[in-house]
Each structure stands twice: as structure tokens, then as C-alpha cells.
Amino acid sequence: MAGSSRGVVYDRARLLKAASRAHERQQKRKAIALYRQVLSMEPDNTALHARVAPLLARTRQRFDALLSFQEAANGMLREGRTAEAIGIYREAATLLPHETDLWASLARLMRQHRNPAESIETLLEGRRHFRRRRRRPEAIWLLRQVRLIEPWHRETVLDLCRLLWRTRQRDEALALVAGLRAHTRGTALRRVCWLQFRLSPTPRNLWRWLRVALRRDASPAKPGASARSRA
């Protein structure tokens, strides 16, 4: 398609060919500039957004990359191409690992169209990118998203309790660990009681931990309980 505006000719085929050549030669910024010329005329072009988004991410244009990844994924979803949209979000999360919305969107799609277990693993994978102290709020948010799927997922709740304690949300941390204790059976109960004692070193919590730790055989889990609480 060719057209003109104020004497500037829009040659779509030429621009795409030049952008592809620049991309192949690792001339990322040149390729981005050429793709953007086409996108200025075709702002809803899903395929072009999918091409330019990784280039934007690799040149540290994170905000623009995020927008293009989202445009590409949303376009694919509108066309019923769910598997491809999941692939786009997976690539986006890999290139922009500190964007919590990407991990949440990817997990939501997996939950809707695959298995909730994959959704949980995706959120936990995302959480692992937020280990620094200043990133604790994002880590907490991702762990809360896991709890919306499986409220008493053991490793998630243990991790969340520790983070809440470190961020001075101690009442919630204590309430959560107490709730987890009520939902835990078997040998895993030792870890839960130990964390409860560490967070609140009272004689009562010490006795709870000792009573479980000194058992020869931990009480067997209820049928199905281990699967629900398995990390």
C-alpha cells in the first residue's frame, strides 16, 4: 500500500523489507524506527507489535515494549489464538521480568485455558525475580495472586508470612501462619509450627513445635490434602 501525506510517500512493502533486513543485521534501533513508521499507519497490527516488542525490550524501552506486547497478546486473544497469546506473554515476562502485570496476565491465561497448577508455578516463577528488599511489595502481591487460586498453598503461605513479617505487617503474618497450621498435616506441620514459633516465640508456640517435632511418626495427611498443599 502506498500513499502520501504532505509529500511523504508511505511505501509499506519497502519499509517492512528494510525493517526485516535491519532486524537480521542486529540493527535494533533502525528496525524499531522502520516498524514504527508502519505502526503509525496501522496501530492495531498484531503481527507488527509482536515483532517490535522484543526489540523495544532489548533496547531498554520497557514502557513501549510492555504496550506492544500487550497489544500483540490482546489482538491474538480477539482472534481466538490463545496459545499464541500465551507465547507472547511468556516472551514478555522473560524479557521484562520485573513487570508484575505480565506474570499475572500469563498466569490468568494459563488458569483459564490449561491447568491451575501451571498458573501457580508461573506466579511463583515471577515471584523469584523480586528478591531484593525494595521489591518486597511486588513479591507480596504475586504471592497474594497465588492464594486467590489455592488459598493454603504451603510454600506460598510460608513465603508470604516471612515477607509480611519483614515489612511490619505482623498481625497478618501471625494470622496466616496460624491458619496454615490448621490446614497442614504430616511432616510439613513441623516447618509450619517452627515458623510460627520464630515469628512469635511464646511458650505456647514452643510447645506446639516440640509436640510435633518429637513425634516418631507425623500424623498421616488427609486424602488429597498433600496434593493441595504441595509446593
pLDDT at position 224 over 70: no
Q: How far is CA 54 from CA 65, 104, 116, 140, 185, in A?
A: 7, 19, 28, 28, 46
How many angstroms separate the CA atoms of 157 and 204, rounded?
21
C-alpha cell at 109: 491465561
CB burial of residue 190 (10 Å; 0-12, 13-18, 19+):
middle
| Domain locations along the chain | 8-78, 150-231
Identify which of 157, 96, 88 has the alpha carbon closest to the alpha carbon of residue 124: 157
Contact 189, 218 (CB under 8 A): yes
- What does the pLDDT look like over 77-125, one tens digit per residue? 999 999 999 999 999 999 999 999 999 999 999 998 778 999 999 999 9
Identify which of 154, 124, 119 has the alpha carbon closest to the alpha carbon of residue 141: 124
What one-letter code names the amino acid at 8?
V
Q: Write down the residue that cell numbers 493454603 correspond to.
A: 152
How many angstroms separate the CA atoms of 48 and 38, rounded?
8
Quote the pLDDT of residue 221: 45
Res. 143 pLDDT band, cuts 50 70 90 = very high
CB count within 10 Å of CB 136 equals 16
Residues with Cβ within 8 Å of 74's Cβ and at least 6 positions away in sequence, in order, are: 85
- The sign of the dihedral angle between the CA atoms of 178, 180, 184, 188 is negative
Topology (CATH level 3) of domain 8-78: 1.25.40
Res. 216 pLDDT band, cuts 50 70 90 = low
pLDDT at position 157 over 90: yes
pTM of the model: 0.83
CA torsion, ordered 139, 141, 145, 151, to nearest 10 deg? 90
